[in-house]
Amino acid sequence: MSVTIRFCGATRTVTGSCHLFQTPRGSFLVDCGLFQGHKTLKELNYGDFPFRPADIGAVLLTHAHIDHSGLLPKLVRQGFAGRIHATRGTIELCSYMLPDAGSIQESEVAALNRRNAARGRAEVLPIYTQADAVAALRSFAAVEYQAWVDVLPGVRARYWNAGHLLGSASIEIEIDADERSRRPLRILASGDVGPETKLLEVDPEAPADFDYVLSESTYGGTEREPVTPETRRSRLAQEVREAAASDGALLIPAFAVERTQELIVDLVALMDRGTLPPAPIFLDSPLAIHATEVFRRNASELDPSVDAARLLTSPHLRFTETVEESKALARLSGFHIIIAASGMCDAGRIRHHLRNWLWNKRATVLLVGFQARGTLGRFLEDGAKAVRLQGDEIKVNARIRKIDAYSGHADGPELAKWIAARRPIHRGLFLVHGEEPAIAGLAARVSERIIPAARIFQPELDDVFELSGSAPKPLEVTHRRRLAPEAVVALDWHNDMSKLVLDINAQIEAAADDRARGVIIRRLQRALEARE
């Protein structure tokens, strides 16, 4: 028997999760997610899959976040005819998230094509449309936690609550039969593993004794201070009070699903108990509004110590569904809170609010989630003095703040503890879904103490491993790699170009007079002419 795995995404980066398993009796995917980050990485979303969608027999989906599910409509449109196995919570969230993603792509491509027409450039097409996403939903099949489901001949899977998100799962996979021991090849795909003190979710769980484990490593190099519900709310209250003192807007770029609902629960609780003065909380995301309704309906599946249903119906909370309602928020005065997607500031309505407020010293931007390399959120987190938004330069005068207490991911010690609980891991641990420092940090944390270093692997994009032997065997990459490994991890020329334009503008503005400005411009012109 020969079983291989090809890492088609989430290698040395936190997005684009997609792992292709090939067995003698069929092929299946674990996840099929959207790439986010710098433009070179995002262009992978528009290119061909590194496999024929029609050859894939099934998809095992760990959870609904777009970096894990976001390319499923494209997969179906291009010929996939199998079942997408997911928990009921994941399916319900995807029924809103995937059409919303298609709608965003259509609207953003329409705006881009208007600019391209003015510049004499060719039109581009969206990755998929809202209609494609709706059609893909017919391929979903519900699974129950801890119940085996037949995936393909000789392949079965069982889902375990990963504690990351409503419906999230780590997936136990058995592939018949291992010729070495005449027993199934046992594999565990972690999905995204939640922290041990996550609001709304129970602690992650999964069995032990595997041949291979695929573990996420988003915060593998990070050790957070211990967080309790009270310390988390205390930190949030401090940030809100400081923002309110400026009498402007508090902008919170938040992932529409789970992070948003957690923030609302805490903000409302703080206002109800008088720790914070009442203030309007605008939820400016149709997707987040629908997701909040899903959480209300599924409150019984969440942490029973939190009265989520009551807190998500607070009079402090106001929904802005239409574009007109969203634009009207720009006319507000006084302190108010706007929660809008996307969490990395890469798309959605938050970009319009940032355009309106980033230049204003009265505004505060509160980052509450992971910001991937190359995203606008990461540039703000790293202290950018100016950014380019929708083609314009915007000065960053707003206060940029960050709270890590709302992360949906386990940190390094928690991931190490999770991996240790999966032992024995007989043949190999693959570290995925993390940037290089995080992967290296987690590898160092578990090496030898939990698993021998020789059995820890850090795959690169499109790497293939044979899994049937006593240890994973890297296979020669005979196919074309879609990106060189260094292109995945480094900022690209688009980022360099944006920084150059901002630096040129800053130098010209800082010049003493028009003569000095002319000198700078002529030097740049000579440099360009020297390249011809």
Residue 112 pLDDT level (bands cut at 50, 70, 90): confident
Q: What is the DSSP string of 71-93?
A: THHHHHHTT--SEEEEEHHHHHH
Per the structure, the complete domain to which residue 518 belongs is given by: 493-530
153 and 52 fall within a common domain:
yes
199: pLDDT strictly greater than 80: no
287 and 174 fall within a common domain:
no
- Average pLDDT of span 431-454: 95
179: pLDDT strictly greater than 60: no
Beta-carbon contacts of 518 under 8 Å, excluding residues fewer than 6 positions away, are none
Last residue in a domain, options 402, 430, 448 = 402
526: exposed, middle or buried (C-beta count within 10 Å: 0-12, 13-18, 19+)? exposed
Distance CA 145, CA 180 (A): 30
Among 89-98, 100-109, 269-278, 288-297, where is mean pLDDT lowest? 288-297
289 and 378 fall within a common domain:
yes
218 and 234 fall within a common domain:
no
217 and 235 fall within a common domain:
no
13 and 161 fall within a common domain:
yes
Distance CA 462, CA 477 (A): 8
Residue 530 pLDDT level (bands cut at 50, 70, 90): confident
Please report where in the chains the tokens 């997936």 appear, as a residue: 171
Q: How many CB atoms within 10 Å of residue 356?
A: 18
Percentage of the chain lying above the pLDDT 90 cut: 62
Please report where in the chains the tokens 């505004």 appear, as a residue: 363
Beta-carbon contacts of 307 under 8 Å, excluding residues fewer than 6 positions away, are none
388 and 457 fall within a common domain:
no
The pLDDT assigned to 54 comes to 98
Mean pLDDT of the chain: 90
Which residue in 308, 315, 319 sits closest to 265, CA to CA?
Answer: 308
- Total count of residues recorded for the chain: 532
Distance CA 337, CA 155 (A): 49
Q: Which of 429-433, 470-474, 517-521 has the highest mean pLDDT?
A: 429-433
174 and 261 fall within a common domain:
no
Residue 90: HSE in the Cβ half-sphere, 13 Å Cα cutoff: 32
- Average pLDDT of span 58-69: 97
Residue 86: HSE in the Cβ half-sphere, 13 Å Cα cutoff: 33
The pLDDT assigned to 424 comes to 97
Of 503 and 196, more confident? 196
Q: Total domain count for the chain? A: 3
417: exposed, middle or buried (C-beta count within 10 Å: 0-12, 13-18, 19+)? middle
Residue 171 bridge partners (DSSP):
159, 189
Among 15-19, 134-138, 182-186, where is mean pLDDT lowest? 182-186
The pLDDT assigned to 304 comes to 62
In this predicted model, what pLDDT tens digit does every residue of 220-266 receive, in sequence order?
999 988 888 889 899 999 999 999 999 999 999 988 777 888 898 89
Beta-carbon contacts of 379 under 8 Å, excluding residues fewer than 6 positions away, are 387
Mind spelling out the 3-state secondary structure of 131-168? Answer: HHHHHHHHHEEEECECCCEEEECCEEEEEEECCCCCCC
40 and 121 fall within a common domain:
yes
Distance CA 112, CA 172 (A): 42
151 and 259 fall within a common domain:
no
The CATH number for 388's domain is 3.40.50.10890
In this predicted model, what pLDDT tens digit does every residue of 387-405 receive, in sequence order?
988 778 899 999 999 998 8
Per-position b or e across 288-304, b if 16+ CB within 10 A of its CB: bbbbbebbeebbebbee
Residue 407 pLDDT level (bands cut at 50, 70, 90): confident
Among 74-88, 315-329, 449-463, where is mean pLDDT lowest? 315-329
Residue 465 pLDDT level (bands cut at 50, 70, 90): very high
The pLDDT assigned to 493 comes to 67
The pLDDT assigned to 295 comes to 75
The pLDDT assigned to 177 comes to 67
- Average pLDDT of span 370-398: 88
CB of 272 closer than 8 Å to CB of 240: no
In this predicted model, what pLDDT tens digit does every residue of 304-313 receive, in sequence order?
666 666 666 7
Contacts 24+ apart (CB under 8 A), 224-232: 224/195, 224/404, 224/405, 224/407, 224/411, 227/195, 227/197, 227/405, 228/197, 229/197, 229/199, 231/405, 232/199, 232/266, 232/405, 232/406
Residue 116 pLDDT level (bands cut at 50, 70, 90): confident
Of 309 and 188, more confident? 188
Among 74-88, 117-131, 426-440, where is mean pLDDT lowest? 117-131
CB of 262 closer than 8 Å to CB of 369: no
Q: Quick check: helix, strand or coil at residue 529?
A: helix
394 and 476 fall within a common domain:
no
131: pLDDT strictly greater than 70: yes
298 and 199 fall within a common domain:
no
Last residue in a domain, options 382, 402, 422 = 402
The pLDDT assigned to 481 comes to 87
The pLDDT assigned to 164 comes to 92
Last residue in a domain, options 350, 375, 402 = 402
16: pLDDT strictly greater than 90: yes
- Average pLDDT of span 476-480: 77
- Average pLDDT of span 421-425: 97
